[in-house]
Amino acid sequence: MSLKRSFFERLTGSISAHDDEDSTTTDKGLKGTPNANGNRPWLDEEEGELAVDVYQTPSEIVIRTMISGVKPEDLTISITREMVTIKGHRESTREINDDDYFQRELYWGGFSRTILLPAEVEVEEAEAIEKHGLLTIRLPKIDREKTSNLKIKSL
C-alpha cells in the first residue's frame, strides 16, 4: 500500500525514502522516474497545492497567494459564503531539453486550493487583485449586527 505523497514530494517530483518496489507504476519505473516517453506519470494523477496566507481584519477576510506565470484566463476562483476554491494551470515552455537541467524545483501544471473560511462572507462584494504575481482576494464579512427597516406596502 503506498502512502499519499507529501506536498513537497509532489511539488519537486522527488520520491519518499521509504517508497519500495510496491510503488512501481505500469510504466515499469518508480514513481517520479520518467517512463519510455519521458513523461512522469504521477504528474497527471495529482494537482499541485497553492501555498496561501489567510488573515482577517475586523471587516474582511484576506487570502494571498503567489500565482506568477499564470495567465488570468487559466485561473478560476469560486466563492461561497463559507469557502473559496482557487484553481489554475501554469504552462511550462519547452525551450530546454530535460537532459540539460541540473535542478528542477518549479511546479508546472494544474493546481488548486480550497480554503474553509473562519466566518461567512458577502460573495457579491468579493474582489480579486493580481499585482506582480501576488493574488489578493478580499472577502467582506457578513455583518450579523446590521439591521434595516422594512417598508410596508399598503394594498
Percentage of residues in the chain having pLDDT higher than 90 = 37
Is pTM beyond 0.85? Reply is no
Over residues 25-83, the pLDDT tens digits come to 443 334 444 545 455 444 444 678 889 999 999 999 999 999 988 888 889 999 999 99
**pLDDT band (50, 70, 90) for residue 15:** low
Residue 120 pLDDT exceeds 50: yes
Residue 92 pLDDT exceeds 80: no
Helix or strand run (H / E) with residue 42: helix 42-45
**pLDDT band (50, 70, 90) for residue 4:** low
Is residue 41 within 8 Å of residue 28, measured between CB atoms? Answer: no
CA–CA dist 152, 134 (Å, integer): 48
Is residue 87 within 8 Å of residue 75, measured between CB atoms? Answer: yes
Cα distances (Å, whole numbers) of residue 92 to 46, 72, 106: 17, 16, 10
CA–CA dist 155, 152 (Å, integer): 10
Sheet containing 134-140, strands listed edge to edge, beginning at the edge strand earlier in sequence: 52-56, 60-66, 134-140, 127-131
Residues present in the chain in total: 155
Domains located in the chain, CATH noted: 1-46 (no CATH), 47-143 (2.60.40.790)
Residue 87 pLDDT exceeds 80: yes
- 98 burial via Cβ count (<10 Å: 0-12, 13-18, 19+): exposed
Helix and strand tally (H, E) in the chain? 2, 8
CA–CA dist 142, 16 (Å, integer): 44
What integer best gives the mean pLDDT of the chain? 78
